[in-house]
Homo-oligomer: A and B are copies of this chain.
Amino acid sequence: MRKLAVLTGGGDCPGLNAVIRAIVKSAHGYGVEVLGIRDGFRGAVEEDFIPLSLKDVSGILPRGGTILGTTNRDNPFAYPTKPNGVIQPLDRSEDVLENLKNNQVDALLAIGGDGSLNIALKFANKGLKVIGIPKTIDNDLMSTDQTFGFQTAVDTAQEALDRLHTTAESHHRVMILEVMGRYAGWIALYAGVAGGADVILIPEIPYNLNRVALSVQNRAKQGKKFSIIVAAEGAKPLGGEMVVERMMKGRIDPVKLGGIGAKIARDLEEHYGLETRVTVLGHLQRGGSPNAYDRVLSTRYGTAAVDAALEGEFGVMVALQGKEIVRVPLQEAVDHIKLVPLNNPLLVAARTLGMEFGD
């Protein structure tokens, strides 16, 4: 093992730089070089590489984002190409293999979510030595207890809830916070409990608007003239569709036309006369310095990936299980999305506290 390559794919999240730093520092300790690939698999196709020295990763631990850049449109197996001026997908995967070979890369460390790890798996099946490092701010990746960046996003959402509390109290209003989570409600659940929300709406539990309104009205009867609702962007009404589903069918951009938060606000005002305001946390959840938890987890992932490479174990993803970092087959990690199970202990505890889930 002489040289490792590393790339970051998909949406950015706090801790990417911490992983890159850990990879470079621990590889350096073993006398192994590291080559950075720019903008995810795009750089692998285009041979856009940059050597990463200790100096390059000095001071990046606290910084959000990724020094390597990232993109969502970089699938080498269907690479956006313009042969005749019209964009069409082309299989450029062989170029990737060749570029890595030409640069004496022995193995690839791919930091990414569902999408990037699927691509990584395809390359593994083509014989490339690949190790995956799990990244999704939504925490919805199978086989790992937690992905880095998630806990920082929860902090961010909880701090937003703290802020909304003071303004909700002062104005006697319903305040909705829409957080990330297209398919899984992890951020909404954790931030909702941490931020003391009154109602938590997640994709896994289609909500009955009557129940939500009733909960707000019951609080009002007890003298609490405000309520806080946290809604995952993928929350959906009973019998209705997720925003993602509507998007896929009708090509609606949820950001511009208003997501689920805006819909709930409109519905609460129109059908129940409840003065409601909505805040969409959006990209603020991805940015900023990782918290200590995520820096530690990122560092552990980075060193564990280098260890796996040095021990010659490929086609795997490093994963947190309990207190240990283990290795799981890449295939296993990308097979399904990890949803919040209805018997999740925190969900159950939240119900015990009287939190409303709309069901």
On A, residues with C-beta under 8 Å from B are 8, 11-12, 16, 22, 25-26, 28-29, 39, 54, 58-59, 61-66, 69-71, 145, 151, 154-155, 157-160, 162-167, 169-172, 175, 190-191, 193-196, 222, 224, 255-258, 262, 265-266, 277-280, 282-284, 286-289, 291-293, 295-296, 299-300, 303-304, 306-307, 322-325, 345-346, 349-350, 352-354
Contact = CB atoms under 8 A, between A and B. Distances in A.
A170 B295 contact: no
Contacts of A299: 193-194, 349-350, 353
Contacts of A262: 255-256
Contact of A353 (B26, B166, B278): B26
B284 A170 contact: no
B345 A69 contact: no
A292 B256 CA distance: 30
Most chain B beta carbons < 10 A, residue from A39, A160, A169, A170: A170
A196 B61 contact: yes
Given A64-B166, A65-B166, A151-B292, A353 B303 contact: yes
Given A54-B222, A256-B258, 11 more contacts: A12-B170, A25-B353, A26-B352, A39-B172, A70-B171, A155-B292, A162-B287, A163-B286, A278-B282, A279-B282, A303-B353
Given A175-B283, A353-B299, A354-B25, A293 B151 contact: yes
Most chain B beta carbons < 10 A, residue from A29, A166, A257, A350: A166
A175 B64 CA distance: 15
Contacts of A166: 12, 63-65, 287-288
Contacts of A324: 345
A170 B66 contact: yes
B164 A283 contact: yes
Contact of A167 (B12, B154, B195, B300): B12
Contact of A346 (B145, B175, B296): B296
Contacts of A169: 65, 69
Given A61-B196, A163-B288, A296-B346, A353 B29 contact: yes
Contact of A71 (B39, B167, B171, B287): B171
Contacts of A16: 170
Given A280-B280, A323-B145, A353-B26, A64 B300 contact: no
Contact of A300 (B70, B159, B283, B346): B346
A70 B170 CA distance: 6
B191 A292 contact: yes
